[in-house]
Structure 1
Amino acid sequence: MNSLSLTEPVLLGGASLSWSAQRRWSWDFFAAMRNEHLELSDAAGNPSLEVRVSHYVQALQKGGNWRMSRLYAAGWRFFEQRPDMLRDFPEPITISQDRLQGIPERIFKPLLWVFIGAEGSGTALHHDVLNTHAWLTVIEGKKRLALHPPTPCDDDYDAQRKSARHVLATRRNRGAWRYLEVAKGDLLFIPATWWHEVVNEGPTIGLTRNFASPDIVGSVAARAREQGHLALLPWLEREMA
């Protein structure tokens, strides 16, 4: 991505199709993970169950465990158990463009995750952690999103979520709401503080990272201070100097 000033969603069709992850991270690849574990969340995003990756993927594929298959692997830090997987994709945003990647892992865990879920699973209306940007790509399946420019939704969250769900149901833009589909191999950039709700179409595997380009470091630092992540401030404020 050439510009670091991300103010609108950017969808790059087929941009990750050449990544090794697109060839290697098949359903069989994850179904063979018998030693790795991930945490599953319920529809409200609450942690619900920790399971082996193989058991969860097999439940999605075969439908034998109905309860497990209805839960969502929403944010698995895969690299903690499988660092080899980091070699399967290039970073769309370089380390020099992402001020978070310079923070030691002992202080701040990278905001890099795999999401795995069944048809209809997804993430309720939100904007991303610490007012960061995000990129995401789909490895298997399809993700559908309703996105809204930055606005104080907190006081009217239920009404805003109703609008987001309407956009997803109709698959059309509505007012300021944008509707986007991210298919296998597409790469989507979501600007900081843009609201978005995500639903998976079919069993889906996605990869995403949150990042802080130089132009938003001040906002990220302010959010970190508000939320009590004080250990991050020396690193972020150094980037602001």
Structure 2
Amino acid sequence: MDSNCSLCQNRGIIIDADSQLAVPCQCIKQKAVWNRFKQAKLTLRMLNQTFENFNFGYYAKDCFDPVKNISYYESAQIAFQAAKNFTRDFMKNNKIDGLLFSGQVGSGKTFLACCIANALIKENQAVLFSVVPDLLDQIRFTYDSSRQVEYSEQDLVETARQVPLLVLDDLGAHNYTEWAQNKLYSILNYRLNNYLPTVITTNISLAELEQYLGARSTSRIIQMCNPYRLLVDMDIRIVIRKKQSVF
């Protein structure tokens, strides 16, 4: 983000033309928003993943969910509306049920979770976006005395427990050790008991979650999140790459 402001020359205030009073410059608000995005751990690519940029064109109208017997397009519409409704309702009352977006790799789950995070951050809401394997690695790093880290295991776990909205991305088919299962359970159980919503994305079905996470965490997720499924006939990332290679 550009650190040089042509309006205030980085002083942070400008003189209002009408009142002739000193008022905060627009850049202060922009920097505050940018800092909230950084604190949420959203990457640069994720910043463009908004409701306005969600593309229903990737979801086929002639392919059908064998379980619900609705088209991939209709499933995407339902999940999209659920995400928008969640964002709206969170602004009114942040003690609401979370969301679970499931679907194969490249079906738009993370994009939809980012839509929620970006919309709420712009409204000054506290959000932590955490990729599950990365979060577990960060916790493990705190055990290594040879590494210099600015945070402790308690800092990481307590932040994930207590942040008003936690997004757990890629809670997928990984080889979760008993240690990893216990860490995730600790976070999920705290959030459930304190009515703190969580948005989760996973590439495994709700029925398969217990195999990877264990019964305790799976039970909490079922209790705290409303499930939605995104389906595509081809990985969206591959579709985008093929389109780019044509030009």
TM-score by shorter chain over 0.5: no
The structure carrying a bigger strand percent of its residues is 1
Give the TM-score of the pair, scaled to structure 2.
Answer: 0.25
Q: Which has the greater radius of gyration?
A: 2
* TM-score (structure 1 length as normaliser): 0.25
